[in-house]
Amino acid sequence: DIPESVMPMTISWLGNSSVATVPTLLDMVMRGKMNGHNISSGDNLVLTSVGAGMNINSIIYRMP
The model's pTM:
0.69
Residue 62 has pLDDT above 90, yes or no: yes
Q: How far apart are CA 63 and CA 52, in angstroms?
A: 29
Q: Per-residue pLDDT tens for 8-25?
A: 778 788 887 777 888 888
Higher pLDDT, residue 53 or 35: 35
Question: Considering the chain, what is the average pLDDT of its residues?
Answer: 83
DSSP the chain: -PPTTS----HHHH---GGGHHHHHHHHHHTT-STT----TT-EEEEEEE-GGG-EEEEEEE--
Residue extents of the structural domains in the chain: 11-62
